[in-house]
Structure 1
Amino acid sequence: MQEKFKKALNGMWDKLDSWFNSFVSNLPNIILAILVFITAVLISRYIRKLVYKITGRSSLQESMKQLLSQIVSIVVILMGLFFVLSILNLGKALNTILAGAGVAGLAVGLALQGALANTYSGIILSYVKQIKFGDWIETNNYEGEVIDIDLRVVTIKQVDNNLVYVPNKMVVENPIKNYSTTAQSRVILECGVAYNSDLQQVRDLVKKTIVNHFEAVENKEDILFLYRDFGDSSINFETRFWINSTSALEVAKAKTEAMILIKAVFDENDIQIPFPIRTLDFPQKFMRALRNSD
């Protein structure tokens, strides 16, 4: 028993001795590999800042600038790792790592199809010019200001100051209404007046009120005024005019202001905005019975 124990102990010491000798003989290569890796990390940080600074002069989205700088940084670090493995004579290990990475990448790709789709869509949204930070958009039944685009979601700030996080894939695959692609937005206001109203006077008052209170409207010809139909209790009209804003919130404010002004000018000129009236017609027998009961 002692003989076996001594033999095993000697084998262990021989193994440790060979490892130590191998470590000492490869010590210069190990030190060089460490220096190469540290240099690669430092260079990657510098190049990352440089790429971000260069892309900062372009019209790319903030998320796209960060993505490009990160990709370049990772590529530099990977190149440093390849040099390290080459210095340490680990070519076979490198081949094994690459083979394993391919199999693992396939498995991860199948498992993360949704996440990868959002990442790819995020790259597309970061590159296209149809949507950018500060735009007021409507997509997937949500409307608001775009405040961020990352590799997972588009963040929209709604009128009520709540944030909505819409997955990038849904934004790419569904229609987007961008209110900020033009310099102006149109305000559409619908109303109705009583049947005894002077329709020519109504039209003139509405146009004059809008021209006097909205800077973007220079004259009455810039306003579209249309009588739509004869309603149950009113003659309905629609007026349209432009304002110098691309925000849906500003459109809503302008519409509110126009309603207040038009209501005030109608009151001054005894023009009524009627509301539906219901007339109840009771049978005569019912009315006689009701009077007799009194």
Structure 2
Amino acid sequence: MFLAQNTDAATDKVIKNIENLEHIDFSKIKMSALLEKLIEWTATTGFKLIIGALIISIGFKLINKFVGRFIYVLEKKDVDITLSKFLKSLITVGLKIILVLPVLGYWGIELSGIAALVASAGVAIGLALQGSLSNFAGGFIILFIRPFKVGDYIETATYGGTVEQIGLFYTQLVTIDNKQILIPNGTLSNGSLINYSAKPTRRVDLIFSVGYENDITHVKEVLNKIVERNKLILKDPAPFVAVSAHSASSVDFIVRAWCNTENYWSIYYDLLEEVKITFDKENISIPYPQMDLHLKEALKK
């Protein structure tokens, strides 16, 4: 009997506790706890993240303006455009790295841990980026030795074009037909190239062939007059016209004329056209490959 009474009393107590729980709003308790944690996070970590992000955003804009102003001053002082463009890339990257590192420390990221991680992975990174590091070093070599500059027309073993930009890792060329070529700086600094724009003057060399039946003195006079009429050809050094070879079916004349580098191709094509027109007027023959066939009648038996 006593056991039954205690059991009933315990059951009644449990039922009353359940009834009390029904009056509790668990959603308010969860929302309140979540709100407290959100406020705590905002006041500590979140605040730091927001401040750090603002510093990076504003800092990047200030760096871009500073670098732009710095390059503008260099251009006003007639600093070579090759150097100014290279410095723009280098300074921009360097300043942004300097800005980001303190912000990472402010966020609580241990820079010593990052340094240890980079050091431990140095060998792997070096092997993976050896090509890029070579190109980066090649950019400094090009800037220091100055084998070419922006605006020069260069030719490598594979490509040729006008230098449009020298970057940290690649040099950008533009071909005559307006194609863009990116060449690694490491390749340019370690390979052979021809810089057609390095000197202010160039020499146009052309060979013209005439038939053996022509008077070579007359041909030489005609060529000299053609060269003298061209106003783009320099008088000093003086042009040179002479017989260069007695070929199998022609007498070859060489014409050497000096000009400003930017006028090279104009003179080259003008001379080719003018010589053909003048030779036709002067009845000077230009030989071309030909074959004479002699047919003999078969001997009759």
TM-score by length of 1: 0.74
| 1:42 is aligned to 2:51 | no
Q: Which residue of 2 aligns with 1:235?
A: 251
Q: 1:68/1:25 Cα in 2 relative to 1: closer, same or farther (>3 Å)?
A: closer
Q: Which residue of 2 aligns with 1:202?
A: 219
| 1:222 is aligned to 2:245 | no
Between stretches 185-194 and 48-57, larger displacement belongs to 48-57
Matched to 2:292, the amino acid is T
| 1:121 is aligned to 2:138 | yes
| 1:268 is aligned to 2:281 | yes
Q: Which residue of 2 aligns with 1:11?
A: none
Matched to 1:255, the amino acid is Y
Counterparts of 1:17-32 in structure 2, within 5 Å, are 27=43, 31=47
- Using the alignment, how far apart are the partners of 2:216 and 2:142 within structure 1? 50
Secondary structure in structure 2 of the residue aligned to 1:222: coil
Between stretches 154-163 and 180-189, larger displacement belongs to 154-163
Q: Deviation digits for residues 81-112 of structure 1, max 9, x if unmatched?
A: 33x15xx5x7xx33322211222343222112
Between stretches 203-212 and 53-62, larger displacement belongs to 53-62
Structural RMSD (CA): 3.1
Gaps of 5+ in 1: 1-16
- Using the alignment, how far apart are the partners of 2:40 and 2:177 within structure 1? 68
- Structure 1 residue 160: deviation in Å? 3.1
Confirm or deny: 8 A CA contact 1:122 1:149 kept in the other structure: yes
Matched to 1:72, the amino acid is L
- Using the alignment, how far apart are the partners of 2:92 and 2:221 within structure 1? 60
Q: Which residue of 2 aligns with 1:212?
A: 229
Q: Which residue of 2 aligns with 1:134?
A: 151
Q: Which residue of 2 aligns with 1:72?
A: 95
Q: Deviation digits for residues 206-261 of structure 1, max 9, x if unmatched?
A: 12112212323348x72112311111111111111122234xxx534422210110
- Structure 1 residue 34: deviation in Å? 5.2
Q: 1:236/1:34 Cα in 2 relative to 1: closer, same or farther (>3 Å)?
A: same
Confirm or deny: 8 A CA contact 1:233 1:274 kept in the other structure: yes
Secondary structure in structure 2 of the residue aligned to 1:197: coil
Confirm or deny: 8 A CA contact 1:61 1:126 kept in the other structure: no
Q: 1:104/1:26 Cα in 2 relative to 1: closer, same or farther (>3 Å)?
A: farther
- Using the alignment, how far apart are the partners of 1:61 and 1:42 within structure 2? 24
Q: 1:142/1:61 Cα in 2 relative to 1: closer, same or farther (>3 Å)?
A: farther
Q: Which residue of 2 aligns with 1:288?
A: 297
Confirm or deny: 8 A CA contact 1:48 1:72 kept in the other structure: no
Secondary structure in structure 2 of the residue aligned to 1:214: coil
Secondary structure in structure 1 of the residue aligned to 2:121: helix
One of 134, 148, 163 as aligned partner of 1:146: 163
Between structure 1 and structure 2, the one with the greater Rg is 2
Gaps of 5+ in 2: 1-32
Confirm or deny: 8 A CA contact 2:71 2:84 kept in the other structure: no
- Using the alignment, how far apart are the partners of 1:209 and 1:64 within structure 2? 48
Secondary structure in structure 2 of the residue aligned to 1:288: coil
Q: 1:36/1:201 Cα in 2 relative to 1: closer, same or farther (>3 Å)?
A: same
Q: 1:115/1:251 Cα in 2 relative to 1: closer, same or farther (>3 Å)?
A: same
Q: Which residue of 1 aligns with 2:67?
A: 51
- Structure 1 residue 262: deviation in Å? 1.0
- Structure 1 residue 114: deviation in Å? 1.4
TM-score by length of 2: 0.73
Matched to 2:243, the amino acid is Y
- Structure 1 residue 166: deviation in Å? 2.1
Matched to 1:254, the amino acid is I
